[in-house]
Structures are given as C-alpha cells and as structure tokens.
Structure 1
Amino acid sequence: MSRPVSAARPLLLGAGILLVAFNMRPALTTVGPLIETIQAATGLGTRGAALLNTLPVLCIGLACVLGPLVIRRLGADRGVLLAVAIVTLGSGLRGFGGLGPLFAGACLAALGIGLSGVLLPGLVKREFPTQVGRVTGLYTMVLCLGAAAGAGFSVPLTQAAGNWSTALGLWSVPALVATLAWLPFARAPDPAERAVRRRPLWRDRLAWQVTGFMGLQSSLAYIMFGWLPVVLHDRGLSAMEAGYVASLMSIGQAPFALVVPSLAARAKDQRLFAMVLLGLAVVTILGLVFGPLGLALPFGMLLGGALGGLFGLGLTLIVLRARDTAGAADLAAMSQSVGYTLASLGPLGFGLAHDLTGGWGASVTLFCLIAGGALICSFWAGQNRTVGVPDPRGA
C-alpha cells in the first residue's frame, strides 16, 4: 500500500506547490485597478497610493529575512503552510473596509508572500532535483496566472459586490483553499535540516550579483502591477479597459514564465536571456506610455512576457547558482530579502516622479534606468558559477 502513495506524492506535492503559487500575487495585483476607486472612497492621495504600492513590496523583502529561521524552527514544509495561512488572513483583513485594514491586510499578505517565495525554490530543488527548470517554470507560470486573475477580476468583482473592500476580501477564498490543500504536506522537519548551519552569503560577490538582478527585475514588475492601470487610465482608457490590459499583461507572463526557466536551466550561460527580456521590457513600456492606444493590448502582453520571463529567470538563477537545497534556500532568502527591499523603491519612485513632474516621462526614464541596472547585474549573475566558490577571475 505504501508504494502507490509514494509514487503519487510528487504529483500531489506539485499540485500543492501550484496552488500556493497561484496565491502569491493577487494580494499585490488587485489594488492597482481599484486605486482610483479607493482614492475616491477614502480620500487617499497620490503619495498615499504610492505608499500602498510600496509597503507590501517592502514587507515581502522583510519577510524573506525570516526564511532560514523558519526552516530551522518549523521546516520548509510547515513554513509554507504558515506562509499561505498568513496570506489568507491578510487578504481577508482587507475586506473589512477603510484604509487601516487595507494597509494592514496588504502588508500582512505580503509577509506571507515573501516567506513562501523563499521556501519554494528549496522545496523544488529538494523534491524535483532533475526537473528544476520545468517545475520552476510551471509554478512561475501559475503565479503569473494568479497575478492576471487579480488584475482582471478586481473591477468586475467590485461592481458585483458593490464595494471595493468586499472584492478585495474575496481573494482570501483561494488562499484558504491552498492552505487546506497544503495541510497533508506540513510534516515535521528532518533533524538534519533543522540543525544545519552554513556560512552566510553576505560576502559572496556572486550572491550579491544574483540579489541585484532579482531585486531590479522585480522592481520593474511591481512598478507595472501598481501603476500600469493608472498610466493607461490617465491616457484615456476606462478603468475597466485599463484593468483588462493589466490582466492581459499578467496573462502574457505565463508562457514566458513557463518556457524561459526550462531553456535557461539547460543553457550554460543565462546572460543572453536577460539581455533580450530586458530589452523587450524597455521597448514595450515606451510603446504603452508614448505609443498609440490601439496597440495597448499587444504591447501589454509583450511587456508581461518580458516581466514573466525575467521573474522566471531570476528564480532559476537562484537554483542554478546554489550547490544544494540548503544553499538554494539561503540564496533565495538573501536575494529576495535585499532584492524586494530594493524593489519596493521602484513603485514609490515611479509615483513620486509623476507627482513631481505631472507627466510620465520621468517615471519611464526611471524604469529604463532600473532595467539597465538589472542588465549590468545579469552580466555576472548569468555566468556558470555557484555561490561559495571563488571566481578565479576575481569578478
């Protein structure tokens, strides 16, 4: 009887990972399409909206610091259960209405998102060591579909529910489903996993290069999650149309997020992937902000493809640059704690640049500069090396 259970476990575990991954973005992408509705109902200003887009990303970075501690105390499996349960609570809190529950719920959900983001790469390396690229691509694709669902259904749910807070609170339902589905996998940690101690990566150059790439490419995505609907609405699209383009942007992430990790994991060098995807991101944001509105949909989907591919590439680099499962968890913790803290400045800067200049030119310039920084980091992060091993060239 134990053999069928053992044979089925990878499939069931994979399904559980995908359910968790689906809930790692709606708490972030559901606010952007509703930001003007929230502002009208609560009096939230432009700087407050920038803060609402920034604080959750900052909380993701802070939560990533806890990853290694959670692994030692609870184990990765129970840690994922804790993470998705926190997402459920944070998403539900937003349904109470008002700015207090909105900000508190957004930050709480982001803490769960950050924690799960640290734990999942190590689980993939441990459970699927020969299929790292494929499984990373699958859960990144589902994560992007969750982002698309959040962006696309926010306005219709608000119209159906009659208010924005109920619509946001409803996103606790899929998170609760993922929490219940993960319960069978929340086993106690292996004693060896609990006791392991490793040398910190803070002095490892390669770890910092991966961290820089992860943070800067994430900043591009969070800028678009929070501000693309506002940009398009400002250019003349309705709130529904702007949310639809944002949803298609997230849908466009899915195929790239699936394919890029699989291809990158097979390649000896990932620098070309980064260069092509970052170039595509810059071209498409320029098209969305300054090009004809009739091309907003294809530009939006291509931008989503670039962002999805970059995120999948970032996660793949974490796994490829680590020597083992524990190293992947440590590198994920560092790259995402520092990286997402850095990424949180992107949405804030994008909004403040618009607030100070009254237009989107300065904001787009900032976007392009961030993309340039990510390209520089990818030159080293994309090379075939592993953290903890000195580079003979001294790079």
Structure 2
Amino acid sequence: MRGAAGRFLLGASLVLIAFNLRPVFSSASALLPEIRSELGLSALGASLLTTLPVVCLGAFSPLAPRLAQRFGTERTLLGVLLLLALGTGLRGLSSVPLLFIGTALAGACIAVGNVLLPGLVKRDFAGRAALMTGFYTMALCAGAASAAGLTLPIEHALGGSLEGALAVWALPALIVSLLWLPEVLRSGRQARRNGFHVKGLWRDRLAWQVTLFMGLQSALAYCVFGWLVPILRERGLDGVTAGAIVSLSVMVQAASCLIVPHIAVRGRDQRLINASLCGVAVTALLGLLFAPLSTVWLWAVLQGIGQGGLIAAAMTTIVLRSRDPDVAAHLSGMAQCVGYLLAAIGPLIVGLIRGWTGSFSWCAALFVALGLGAAINGWKAGRAVEINVHAAEKDG
C-alpha cells in the first residue's frame, strides 16, 4: 500500500514523463526553415520529417501492452525515457539520416509512453481519473509549448547552433529517468502477474468511434505542432514571435487540459463537449490562417482552448469507456495505433498542399474536414456506455 507521499511522487513522476512526450514535435517545427536551409532538406523531406514521428506513434502503439506484460509497466517506461533521450540526441549530429533515425526512435518511444499512461491512471488513480488525466495531458501540452517557445531562443543563445537546439531536449528525459528509477526498483519487488488479452475489441463499434475521435483530433493537433510556426512565419511574422504565439496557444492547451476532464465527468455524457471543442479548434485555426495579424494572439488563445480540450477529452474518453485497467490499456493501444496513423496524414497533406499551391490557404479545407469527422465520432464516442469487452488472463 502507498502512503500519501508515495502516491504524490508517483503522480508527479507520471506528469514529468508526459512532459517529455511532445518536445520532439514542436522543437523541429520551430526550426524547420533552418533545418531545410542548413541540411538541404526539400519540401517533401520537410513534410516527411513532420509526419514521421506521428507515423511511429501509430506503428509502435500496439507493442506497448506486450512490452508492459513482459517487462512490467515501470521498467518499460524507464526504457522509453532512456531511448527517447538517445533518439532526441541523435537529431543534433548534423546528419540528415541521423535526423530521421533519431526522430523515428523518439516517435516509437513516445508511442509506448502514450499508451501506458492511461492504464496507469486507471490502475493507480481510479478514484481521481479526471484529475490525473488533466494533469498529464496538461504536461503533454506544457512540453510542446516549451519546445515551441524556447527552441529558437536556445539556438540563438548557442550562437546559432541548430544541432544543440535540437539535442538539448534530451536532457529533460534523462533527468526524469533518474526520478523514475525508484519506482522501477519498487515494482521489481512486486509479484508479476500473468499477461492479459482482450477479445473482440477490434470488432466493437464504440471502440472504433473512440479511435476515430482520437485520430482525427490528433491530426488537427499535429498540424499545429508541425506547421503553425511555418504558417505564421510565411504570413510575415519573425521566427521568435511565431514561436511565442504557438507556445502561448499550447500553454492555453495545458490549462484547458486540466479543466475539461472535470467538466466531462460531471455531465450525463460527453457528446456535446466533444463536438463543441471540435468547432472551437477549427474556427480558431481558420482565424490563424486568414484573420488580420493584429488578432492572431486572440485566435491562438482560442485554438489552445479548443485543441487542449480535445486532447483531454479524447484521453478521458478512453478511460471512461473502459471497464478496467487492462481494457483501458488495450483500447489506448488501439486508439493510438489507428488514430496516430490516421493523424499522420494531417501534417503530410499540409506540407503537400504548401508544395503544390505555394500557399497554406487551401489547408482550410483540410482543417474543416478533420474537424467535422472528429465532431461526428466525438459525439458517438461521448455516449455514457462502456465498451462491451473484458480482459481475460492468459494461461500459464
């Protein structure tokens, strides 16, 4: 049994782990023009760089429950942090192949971490699932905001070192791995249970609605992480100002993440809040694309409210639609496997639209389509019912 101090330390550790699961995305976005000029990256290469980690989120998500069953959740998360630091560091070696290899490795680690966190919340904080979901999704946003706002100033402080500005984000992951180590040692003294499997999840309609809600709102989020700084810079803002605007938007996301789960669990269901947040996020993106530059700070705040709320709503939906922690872990794996593979299409299409048309304006049609799809599936996934599957213990 954990005391109050032990539960606080566990919760704080989970929040700090979550902080490290987003800087890879927004740090590269903030320096995308510099990466293209210094490393000779083409428009297609830039699109692939912003899309690659999102593809990895989907491709490696199914491995997370298996790794957790084999090695234990705590040990798996320690490995995630160490390999994430390695992958992030590889991006700072002035090599295009290592830039892509490091990004892919970091994306794979983030995929595993993304899947395991909801299961840990369901297991260790069942009575405070909304609060903990809010805290760790807030930390996800805080990590993205920090990288968006600080990466370019760090590059300037390092004398224009692109490599150092990309690699510096390995340090927080290394520090948190040391903080997580006592939890790993503690879990090693616990008896390891047999693995669990969930039958029928991939045939369940509600599970697919949760998955599509996760995927389509994630596509909007990664369009923001990957391309909003270049969009604003193309509209005439300097790099530091554009990064600051995106950082503000993502910091507002963090606040929205903390509030939305509490609102979501108080209602009879989550249909209206899921659909409404989609409308807010898309409207704000259109404002950032077309509204006068004097108003972009306002639209950034509004976009942060909508997008941060969507991230938290999607994570909360996974927890609320699951009967137990094992179903939550497997549903999280499914939602993030299919969802992030779907989400990867978003930033890729944005880059292709920019290459084909010479402008980001036509991205508006993409944002509206993604938002409409997310709203429809968010409405269906928000019904107050649970997925009709159970976790069964494997023999042996």
What is the TM-score with the length of structure 2 in the denominator?
A: 0.95
Counterpart position of 2:148: 151
Change (3 A) 1:305 1:189: farther
Letter of the 2:25 partner, please give it.
Answer: L
The answer to whether the aligner puts 1:31 opposite 2:31 as a matched pair is no
Q: Classify the secondary structure of the residue corresponding to 2:86.
A: helix
Distance in 1, Cα, partners of 2:275 & 2:347: 22
8 Å contact kept, 1:74–1:188? no
Paired positions, count: 387
Deviates more, 1:292-301 or 1:119-128: 292-301
Which moved further from structure 2: 180-189 or 61-70? 180-189
Letter aligned with residue 98 of structure 2: P
- Cross-structure match for 1:180: 178
> Which residue of 132, 135, 139 corresponds with 1:135?
132
Q: 2:10 aligns with which of 8, 13, 16?
A: 13
- Name whichever of 113-122 and 264-273 sits farther off: 264-273
Q: Tell me by how many angstroms 1:389 deviates.
A: 5.8
**Matches of 1:319 and 1:359 in 2, distance apart?**
40
CA distance in 1 between partners of 2:234 and 2:377 (Å): 33
164, 167, 187: which one aligns with 2:165: 167
The aligned residue for residue 325 of structure 2 is: 325
Deviation at 1:267, TM superposition (A): 2.1
CA distance in 2 between counterparts of 1:65 and 1:365 reads 31
Question: 1:189, CA displacement in angstroms?
Answer: 8.8
Which residue does 1:74 correspond to in 2? 71
Equivalent in the alignment of 2:51: 54
Q: Which residue of 1 aligns with 2:113?
A: 116
* Pair 343,7 (structure 1): closer, same or farther in 2 beyond 3 Å: same
Cα shift at 1:257: 0.5
1:66-125 CA deviation, whole Å, 9 max, x = no partner? 012112101222221121222111111112122122111111111111100100000001
Task: Provide the C-alpha distance between the structure 1 equivalents of 2:16 and 2:189, rounded to a whole number of angstroms.
Answer: 21
Once the two structures are TM-superposed, the CA of residue 6 in structure 1 deviates from its matched residue by: 3.1
2:152 aligned partner, one-letter code: V
Would the alpha carbon gap of residues 243 and 124 (structure 1) be closer, same or farther in structure 2, given more than 3 Å must change? same
Report if the CA contact (8 A) 1:21-1:143 is conserved.
yes
CA contact (8 A) 2:199 2:389 kept: no
CA distance in 1, matches of 2:93, 2:200: 41
Please give the alpha-carbon distance, in whole angstroms, between the structure 2 residues aligned to 1:192 and 1:181. Answer: 22
Kept in 1, the 8 Å contact 2:353–2:363? The answer is yes
8 Å contact 1:32–1:225 — kept in the other structure?
A: yes
1:22 and 2:19 matched: yes
Q: 1:197 to 1:286 in 2, by over 3 A?
A: closer
Residues 1:377 and 1:193: Cα distance change in structure 2 (over 3 Å) = farther
**Structure 2 counterpart of 1:194, which letter?**
N
- State how 1:327-366 maps to structure 2 within 5 Å: 327-366=327-366
Q: What SS is found at the alignment partner of 1:268? A: coil
Percent identical residues: 44
Runs of 5+ consecutive residues of structure 1 not aligned to the other structure:
391-395
Q: Give the Cα separation in 1 of the matches to 2:322 and 2:191.
A: 22
The answer on whether the counterparts of 1:211 and 1:339 sit within 8 Å (CA) in structure 2 is yes
Distance 1:18 1:378 in 2: 25
Q: For 2:277 and 2:373, how far apart are their aligned partners in 1? A: 13
Quick one: structure 1 residues 7 and 287, their matched pair in 2 at CA, closer, same or farther if it must change by over 3 Å?
closer
1:353 deviation in Å? 1.4
1:84-95 aligned within 5 A = 84-95=81-92
Is contact 1:155–1:240 with CA below 8 Å preserved after alignment? yes
* Aligned residue in 1 for 2:394: none
TM, length-normalised to structure 1: 0.95
Alignment of 1:367-378 (within 5 A): 367-378=367-378
Cα pair distance change 1:273/1:165, threshold 3 Å = same
Q: Which amino acid aligns with 1:279?
A: G
Distance 2:80 2:263 in 1: 29
Q: Does 1:103 align with 2:88?
A: no
In the alignment, the residues of structure 1 paired with residue 189 and residue 270 of structure 2 have an alpha-carbon distance, to the nearest angstrom, of 34
Counterpart position of 1:298: 298
Distance 2:36 2:270 in 1: 42
Describe the shift of the 1:36–1:261 C-alpha distance in structure 2 as closer, same or farther (beyond 3 A): same
Please give the per-residue CA displacement for 1:294-336, whole angstroms capped at 9, x wherever unaligned. 1111111211221111000000000000000001000000000
Which residues of 2 match residues 179-198 of structure 1 at below 5 A? 179-186=177-184, 187-188=187-188, 193-198=193-198
Q: What is the CA–CA distance in structure 2 between the aligned matches of 1:190 and 1:269, rounded to whole Å?
A: 37
AA in 2 matched with 1:159: H
Question: Alignment RMSD, CA only?
Answer: 1.5
The Cα shift of 1:191 comes to 5.5
The one-character-per-residue Cα deviations of 1:230-264 (angstroms, maximum 9, x if unpaired) are 11111100111111111111111011100001211
Match of 1:97, SS?
coil
For 2:245 and 2:194, how far apart are their aligned partners in 1? 45
* Secondary structure of 1:237 counterpart: coil
Distance 1:249 1:332 in 2: 26
3-state DSSP of counterpart to 2:194: helix
CA displacement at 1:196 relative to structure 2: 2.1
Does the aligned pair in 1 maintain the 2:134–2:259 contact within 8 Å? yes
**2:21–2:143: 8 Å Cα contact kept in structure 1?**
yes
Contact 1:60–1:113 (CA<8 Å) still a contact in 2? yes
Secondary structure at 1:131 match in 2 = helix
In the aligned structure 2, how far is the partner of 1:268 from the partner of 1:189?
Answer: 41
